[in-house]
Amino acid sequence: MRKSVYIALTLSISLVGWMASGQVVTAKTDVPERVDAAVQTQIKRMPRVQVTRSEAEPMSRRLVLRGQAQALRKAILRGEITGTVQKVAARRGARVEKGDLLMQLSMEDRQTRKRLAQARLKQSQADHTAAKSLYKKGFQADLKVKRAFADLQASRADLEAIKLEIRRTQIRAPFAGFLQERFVEQGEYVSPGAQLMELVDDGTILVTAHVPQQQVALLQSGQQGVARFLDGREVNGTVRYVAARADRETRSFRVELEIDNASGQVSAGASCELSLPVGNPESHKISPAWLTLDRKGRLAVKIVDSINTVRTQVVEIVQSDAEGVWITGLPQSARIITRGGGYVDHGQSVEPVNRKEGSAVKGDGHLS
């Protein structure tokens, strides 16, 4: 009886120990299974974004401004004497060379006054010669000689004055150009200061524009530029002037592009687009749809780094066209997020999908 009790007790202890050991083993094997499941769940929850590989390349950065063509110079020709318009030698719209006769004013009595001045000059010369001769012989005082010399100089000045007045009856072109306007007609009486004609020198054209103060440091005299006109023509020129002081009202700086217009292909007053090269930065060309804003409201692009983490990079647009925008601020080589960027934040881990694989995109912007 006692022996049976011992046997039963031994078996019970063994059974309890075996069951306990089984629970321990089961607990040990369940740990890695739960960890693996958590990892798989985390992987499944990691957002997927579509990316494209972009390599920076040098591009010709250009500053584009709204400009206007204007003539190098223009002049309002005014009358310097009184008289009647006797002849109009050049019609409005004509092209003239320097020195060409444009208008003739009446002579009035100027030829008569010229002959009188010539006669007085001859008399003054004779009087001065006689005074010097008598002075040398001791029959004339020195004061008489000086007075005769003064009369001679006055006669010469009177003759030169009337000759100048006669020359001023002819209105001639001070430079080659285009006769823009005529303000008087034949037979009209004009006085000194009256407007007669407007002459424009369009052999050289200046394209003027105003550059913002943030970009004026990029420009300098002597650099090349292109003016694009509304009819599609492009004309090359050279920057001849960059203002050193800003306009008081607009706070912008005047810039002038000089264009050779000997052929007359550019009309003064025409509107155009002024394009000026300002460097060759390493840039990425992207779609405008890939641009976003960072938390400070700055223009940015979201990229995925080497450890598949989202990085929000502040960028600057250096040029844009119908095909896209050129930006700086990214690494030389970058994986740019093209889809799903609106659902991920800076520093978040993602699963990137190459854009070339053509992964489908759900209606909410998430990748499938």
Please tell me the chain's helix, strand, coil percentages from 3-state DSSP, rounded to the nearest 5: 30, 40, 30
pLDDT digits (tens, 9 = 90+) for 137-150: 877 788 888 898 99
Nearest Cα residue to 198 out of 177, 219, 214: 177
**pLDDT surpassing 50 at residue 361:** no
CB atoms within 10 A of CB 23: 9
User: Do the Cβ atoms of 292 and 341 come closer than 8 Å?
Assistant: yes
Structure token digits, residue 176: 């080659």
For 267-308, the pLDDT digits (tens) are 888 999 999 988 788 899 999 999 999 999 999 999 999 999
Q: Is the pLDDT reported for residue 45 higher than 60?
A: yes
